[in-house]
């Protein structure tokens, strides 16, 4: 553990106690239980008094990236090193310095109340609400099927300005990816030429090697988080007796069953080492055996598929339209890009996994409005991804949203988005590992629970904001609308310091001031 970090936000309340190594909050959690009878919705408000304890001592955080030498992994590592060494570089728009624009934890703010003198809203950096890890303190390591060091990987990716690449070379050239798992059955054939750094042997021996790599990182860290940021795999057939239970899965690995994907091997290795595993690609890594194993071992999993540009916008726009009472009926999403992710997705089996995660992102939003949509009704939704090598990491996304409006009318919205794909993904990876580290210091207790403090469930659904296809506990509710996902994280952090959810009612400015006590 690192040294005790003093909080930037201090709550003066009998419900919030700063006790040595912890912040402890007595929190009243409220919800509503609804029953329907004879067309009447009967609503019963319920509440639970919950104690929330947050450790103030930060973990020394180690991050191990699967696909470290890919565009996302190399860009994230370069950004951390640029911050650590205060690197600046010249561009045609002037002198630039490192930033974390696009990061929820590093570049967004949270409202904590209203100024006691003039009543104006007060915002603080997200990272200051609770003690969080400084990105410059993160240790990075990982695996890749390519032997290129991180300096070569950054130049191959061609995401960052050349001037910046040159300045980072002394800091990146000694980062060497560890050999990774390579199975041609699950990755596009066009990746074969990159695969010069692969593990030999059986599945069981590879899991043993991955676990040894993780243990080596654990000797340098208090907490190791493993992140899959490698290429999308083809969907894995979920077979009875193979993927359905934890014991069957472990047995299948020992027996070398052909339908065990590389991402499953990494997930199993991380789980057995009690390390959180994050799946940043859309393949079905979290087969039932993996989720059962995570619950049994007390390890966390989170995923699937980083939500960045086009899909994040979709989860905003569809939520906005449905919330306005407008009915989206057809969505066409077209992408073309030239990086290695696009090259891999040019293969049909890998694209199918991506198509599923990108099209399912609006399902819960549609289900939420029974006025607009009949039970089982779907939006006509298609996704196309084309590989155009010349564009490199510069992704072009074009979307057309057609909606029904009043009295048989139609409304069409067309969006065109151009961005460096990895410069959107890298901050998401950073947010995930920072929030996982924070989650490792949060525990809960109620009058109904045991005297022990209980952690989050093994599926970290609180991180849904960062994923196209969030993994939630069985029986849990999948939420894709971005505003709700962000509110979940913000309100959880507020709860940890004893503040109620942010309700945005702001009655002080909407009713007679005599109703409220003067500050």
pLDDT tens-digit series, residues 413-442: 999 988 888 999 999 999 999 999 999 999
Say which range, 3-7, 228-232, 235-239, has the weakest mean pLDDT. 3-7
Answer yes or no: 84 catalytic. no
Separation CA 61–CA 139 (nearest Å): 6
Residue 318 sits at the vertex; the CA angle it makes with 385 and 311, to the nearest 5 degrees, is 30
**Residue 219 CB neighbour total at 10 angstroms:** 8
**Active-site residue among 354, 393, 421, 431?**
354
- Token readout for 327 is 């009915």
Pull the structure tokens for residue 517. 């006590």
Please report the pLDDT score of residue 345 as a whole number: 67
**Helix (H) / strand (E) containing 91:** strand 89-91
Contact 88, 95 (CB under 8 A): yes
Residue in this structure with the two tokens 């005599």, named with its chain if needed: 514
From the list 266, 306, 352, the residue with the least C-alpha distance to 469 is 306
d(CA 373, CA 375): 7
R_g of the chain computed on alpha carbons = 24
d(CA 44, CA 73): 48
Q: So what's the pLDDT on residue 357?
A: 60
User: What is the rounded distance in angstroms from the CA atom of residue 298 to the CA atom of residue 447?
Assistant: 23
Report phi then psi at 381, rounded to 5: -135, 125
What's the confidence (pLDDT) of residue 347?
64
CA distance 13 to 7: 15
Decide if pLDDT at 309 tops 60.
Answer: yes
Question: Residues 441-483: pLDDT tens digits?
Answer: 999 998 776 678 999 999 999 999 999 888 888 778 888 899 9
Tell me: the pLDDT tens digits for 276-291? Answer: 999 999 899 999 999 9
Output the average pLDDT for the chain: 91
Domains of the chain: 61-306+423-495 (3.40.50.720), 310-420 (3.30.360.10)
pLDDT at 117: 85
Rounded-to-integer distance, Cα 75 and Cα 69, Å: 9
Which residues make Cβ contacts (< 8 Å) with residue 297, sequence separation at least 6?
271, 272, 274
Percentage of the chain modeled with pLDDT above 70:
95
395 is catalytic: yes
Beta carbons within 8 Å of 27's beta carbon, 6+ residues apart: 15, 49, 50, 51, 52, 495, 498
The count of other CB atoms within 10 Å of the CB of residue 296 is 12
Instruction: Report helix, strand or coil for 83.
Output: helix
pTM (2 d.p.): 0.92
What SS3 class is residue 518? coil
Angstrom distance (rounded) from CA 113 to CA 11 = 11
Given a contact cutoff of 8 angstroms between Cβ atoms, the answer to whether 229 and 66 are in contact is yes
Q: How confident is the model at residue 518 (pLDDT cuts 50, 70, 90)?
A: low
Q: Which candidate in 141, 144, 305, 421 is catalytic?
A: 305
Please write the tens of the pLDDT for every residue from 347-390: 666 666 666 666 678 888 998 999 999 999 999 999 888 888 88
Q: Are 380 and 330 in contact (CB under 8 A)?
A: yes
Angstrom distance (rounded) from CA 61 to CA 221: 6
**CA 277 centroid distance within chain:** 11
Q: Name which of 366, 364, 396 is nearest 380 in CA terms.
A: 366
Mean pLDDT of 22-45: 93
Asked if residue 4 has pLDDT above 80, the reply is no
Known catalytic membership, residue 468: yes
> 448 near 123, Cβ under 8 Å?
no
Pairing of strands 327-337, 410-420: unpaired
Least confident of 87-96, 223-232, 400-409, 417-426: 417-426
CA angle 502, 504, 506 (to 5 degrees): 120
Do residues 259 and 242 touch, judged by C-beta distance below 8 A?
yes
**pLDDT computed for residue 519 by the predictor:** 57
Longest dimension (CA), the chain: 76
Query: One of 307, 314, 327, 395 is an active-site residue; which one?
Result: 395
């Amino acid at each position: 553990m690192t040294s005790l970090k003093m909080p930037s936000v201090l709550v003066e309340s009998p419900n919030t106690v700063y006790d040595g190594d912890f912040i402890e909050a007595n929190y009243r959690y409220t919800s509503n239980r609804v029953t329907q009878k004879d067309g009447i919705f009967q609503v019963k408000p319920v509440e639970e008094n919950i104690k929330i304890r947050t450790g103030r001592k930060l973990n020394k955080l180690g991050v191990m990236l699967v696909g470290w030498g890919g565009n996302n992994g190399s860009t994230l590592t370069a950004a951390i090193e640029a911050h650590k060494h205060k690197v600046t570089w010249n561009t045609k728009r002037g002198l630039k310095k490192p930033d974390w624009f696009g990061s929820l934890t590093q570049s967004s703010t949270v409202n904590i109340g209203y100024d006691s003198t003039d009543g104006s809203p007060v915002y603080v950096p997200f990272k200051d609400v609770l003690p969080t890890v400084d990105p410059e303190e993160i240790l990075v390591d990982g695996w890749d099927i390519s032997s290129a060091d991180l300096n070569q990987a950054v130049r191959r990716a061609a995401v960052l300005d050349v001037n910046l690449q040159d300045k980072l070379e002394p800091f990146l050239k000694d980062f060497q990816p560890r050999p990774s798992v390579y199975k041609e059955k699950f990755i596009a054939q066009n990746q074969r030429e990159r695969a010069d750094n692969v593990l030999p042997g059986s599945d069981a021996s590879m899991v043993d090697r991955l676990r040894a790599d993780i243990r080596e990182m654990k000797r340098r860290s208090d907490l190791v988080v493993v992140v899959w940021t490698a290429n999308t795999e083809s969907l894995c057939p979920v077979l009875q007796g193979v993927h359905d239970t934890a014991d069957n899965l472990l047995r299948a690995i020992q027996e070398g069953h052909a339908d065990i994907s590389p991402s499953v091997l990494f997930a199993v290795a991380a789980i057995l080492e009690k390390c959180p595993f994050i799946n940043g690609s859309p393949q079905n890594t979290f087969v039932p055996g993996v989720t059962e194993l995570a619950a049994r071992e007390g390890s966390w999993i989170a995923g699937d598929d980083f939500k960045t540009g086009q899909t994040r916008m979709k989860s905003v726009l569809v939520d906005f339209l449905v919330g306005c009472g407008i009915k989206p009926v057809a969505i066409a999403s077209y992408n073309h890009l030239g990086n290695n992710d696009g090259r891999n997705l040019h293969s049909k089996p890998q694209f199918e996994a991506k198509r599923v995660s990108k099209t399912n992102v609006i399902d819960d939003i549609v289900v939420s409005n029974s006025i607009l949509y009949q039970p089982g009704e779907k939006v006509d939704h298609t996704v196309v991804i084309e590989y155009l090598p010349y564009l490199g990491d510069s992704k072009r996304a074009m979307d057309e949203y057609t909606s029904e409006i009043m009295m048989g009318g139609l409304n069409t919205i067309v969006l065109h988005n151009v961005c460096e794909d990895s410069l959107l993904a890298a901050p998401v990876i950073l947010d995930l590992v920072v929030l996982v580290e924070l989650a490792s210091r949060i525990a809960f207790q109620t009058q109904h629970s045991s005297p022990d403090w209980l952690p989050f469930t093994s599926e970290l659904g609180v991180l849904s904001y960062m994923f196209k296809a969030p993994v939630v506990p069985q029986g849990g509710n999948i939420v894709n609308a971005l505003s709700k996902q962000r509110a979940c994280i913000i309100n959880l952090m507020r709860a940890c310091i004893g503040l109620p959810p942010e309700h945005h009612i702001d009655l002080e400015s909407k009713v007679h001031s005599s109703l409220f006590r003067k500050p």
